[in-house]
């Protein structure tokens, strides 16, 4: 049986590491598949305005491209100057589909930055119809005693506090029909002995998604989540040693890691009217590694 493009690229991924979080896509070998040429947009998000945190690379980049194919204008937010190269490439990729695209570099773990991010997005796009909370960090530790207070705070401040503050600021500008999609993780459901604090933040995101969905149901703002499994993003070589990177995803039923482009359609579905009767739910994109009940 012939192998598909995702299986072929998975075989090319070997031992590699990066020294800084959240990592650079430009330094990955091979580069992730972020634009599926077989995915043809059909104006599902035409005229909508989207803010995507962690939008410079990985899943965020793939989502931005898919949204652009569907007609959405986009602001991508990302952490640091080290990711400028990735962010600039993502803008180029978005703009070729004829939509407006902007980048904002900021650290959303600080409330003032989150508020300013939303303010600048409104200035650039005029509104926020779709909020994608995707920014995240992870720091592996096999022993709970090795998770310092500083690491715990850094993980929660980026993964959950930042998400909370951006959402809080954006909601002041969101109306009936607008949507929020949060990036959870398989670790929120399956657990992770080596990513305990990270998994805890993703559990918080999952519970927040459900609670906020109920809270906003009467306002017509839908809130859902995507829970990726092992996906080939910059966070992987920036987190794990070379051996772990090479084996990433091998233990899934599909026996490979996923690519960012394989996640993007789930975000499109949740951001569009195709999911108009869906709120408080999570889509699991994980190669069968966890089957939701």
Separation of alpha carbons 72 and 264, rounded Å:
14
Sign of the C-alpha dihedral, residues 286, 289, 237, 156?
Answer: positive
Quick one: tokens of 206? 């999952």
Which one-letter DSSP state was computed for residue 196? H
Separation of alpha carbons 59 and 132, rounded Å:
11
Q: CA dist 159 to 113, 185, 202, 206, Å?
A: 15, 11, 8, 12
Pairing of strands 179-183, 130-133: parallel
Q: Which of 110, 198, 267, 277 is catalytic?
A: 198
Burial (CB < 10 A; 0-12, 13-18, 19+), residue 154, is middle
Annotated catalytic residue 198: yes
Spell out where the chain has E strands.
49-53, 73-78, 101-105, 130-133, 179-183, 222-228, 282-285
Which one-letter DSSP state was computed for residue 258? B
Q: Using DSSP, how many helices (H) and how many strands (E) does the chain show?
A: 10, 7
Q: At what angle do helices 196-216 and 162-171 cross, to 10 degrees?
A: 20
For 153, residues 6+ apart whose C-beta sits below 8 A from its C-beta are none
Separation of alpha carbons 198 and 187, rounded Å:
8
Q: Which residues are catalytically annotated?
A: 198
């Amino acid at each position: 049986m012939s192998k598909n493009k995702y299986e072929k690229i998975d075989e090319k991924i070997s031992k590699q590491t990066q020294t800084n979080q959240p990592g650079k896509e430009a330094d990955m070998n091979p580069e992730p598949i972020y634009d599926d040429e077989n995915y043809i947009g059909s104006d599902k998000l035409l005229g909508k305005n989207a803010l995507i945190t962690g939008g410079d690379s990985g899943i965020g980049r793939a989502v931005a491209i898919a949204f652009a194919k569907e007609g959405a204008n986009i602001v991508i937010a990302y952490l640091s100057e080290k990711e400028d190269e990735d962010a600039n490439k993502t803008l180029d990729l978005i703009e070729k589909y004829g939509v407006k695209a902007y980048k904002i570099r900021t650290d959303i773990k600080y409330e003032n930055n989150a508020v300013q991010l939303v303010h600048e997005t409104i200035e650039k796009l005029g509104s926020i119809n779709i909020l994608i909370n995707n920014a995240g960090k992870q720091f592996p530790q096999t022993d709970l005693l090795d998770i310092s207070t500083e690491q715990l705070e850094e993980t929660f401040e980026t993964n959950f506090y930042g998400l909370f503050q951006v959402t809080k600021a954006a909601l002041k500008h969101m109306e009936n029909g607008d949507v929020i999609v949060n990036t959870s993780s398989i670790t929120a459901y399956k657990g992770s002995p080596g990513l305990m604090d990270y998994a805890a933040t993703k559990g918080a995101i999952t519970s927040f998604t459900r609670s906020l969905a109920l809270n906003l149901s009467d306002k017509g703002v839908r809130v859902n989540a995507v829970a990726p499994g092992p996906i080939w993003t910059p966070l992987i070589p920036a987190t794990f040693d070379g051996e772990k990177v090479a084996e990433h995803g091998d233990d899934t039923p599909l026996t490979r890691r996923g690519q960012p482009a394989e996640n993007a359609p789930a975000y499109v579905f949740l951001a569009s009217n195709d999911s108009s009767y869906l709120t408080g739910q999570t889509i699991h994109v994980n190669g069968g590694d966890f089957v939701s009940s």
